Amino acid sequence: MDITIDKLFSYWAFSWFIIYYFGNKYLEKYAGFTVSSPILALHIAFLENVIELISLITVNLNGRLILKFITMILFVKIIPLYLLRNDKIEIKDFYILLGVFIIYVVYLHMLGTSLIAIYKQTNKSLAEGKNDTPFYRFIDWISR
């Protein structure tokens, strides 16, 4: 089973950021609504990535692998968090994140997989230095 962009919640949070940051003024103008800030989702995803980075460093000291992972964190988490630095986390952000996360888990179930299975596969891929994750495949594609 491939680890595609739709199977990792981090990319859901990043997509949410793209819609929020670049699309809200258009959504408000043309659809009459706005998207809530993904800042809480990005903070949680960033924390998970830091834990994963520590795990990677202890399991696999491959410098290229660590650099790719840090690059992914920079582009998918740190830059969006920096751009949203003035957003305040509100209680509604928690409820919206919970709703999005439930939709994500249901989506994985519809695909015949689970959150645990996807993250076990992702962790194994990272620990073995494979390029099975979307960002790693992208880095390899642009570096050719």
Quick check: is 9 in a domain?
A: yes
Quick check: is 143 in a domain?
A: no
Quick check: is 52 in a domain?
A: yes
Token pair 């929020």 in the structure block, residue: 20
CB 122 within 8 A of CB 59: no
Quick check: is 144 in a domain?
A: no
Count: domains in the chain? 1
pLDDT at 61: 66
- Cα angle at 81 between 84 and 42, to 5 degrees? 110
Query: Which residues lie closer than 8 Å to 25 by C-beta, 6 or more apart?
Result: none
What is the domain range of residue 52?
A: 5-137
pLDDT at 62: 77
Tokens representing 96?
Answer: 């919206």
Quick check: is 18 in a domain?
A: yes
Quick check: is 76 in a domain?
A: yes
Q: How far is CA 99 from CA 20, 37, 44, 104, in A?
A: 16, 14, 15, 9
Tokens representing 92?
Answer: 């509604």
Quick check: is 79 in a domain?
A: yes
Query: Is the overall model pTM greater than 0.95, yes or no?
Result: no
- What would the pLDDT profile of 8-59 be if each residue is shown by its tens digit? 999 999 999 999 999 988 888 888 888 999 999 999 999 999 998 888 888 7
- What would the pLDDT profile of 78-123 be if each residue is shown by its tens digit? 999 999 999 999 999 999 999 999 999 999 999 999 999 998 888 8
Quick check: is 142 in a domain?
A: no
Closest-CA residue to 40 (of 105, 92, 118, 107): 92
Token pair 């680890």 in the structure block, residue: 3
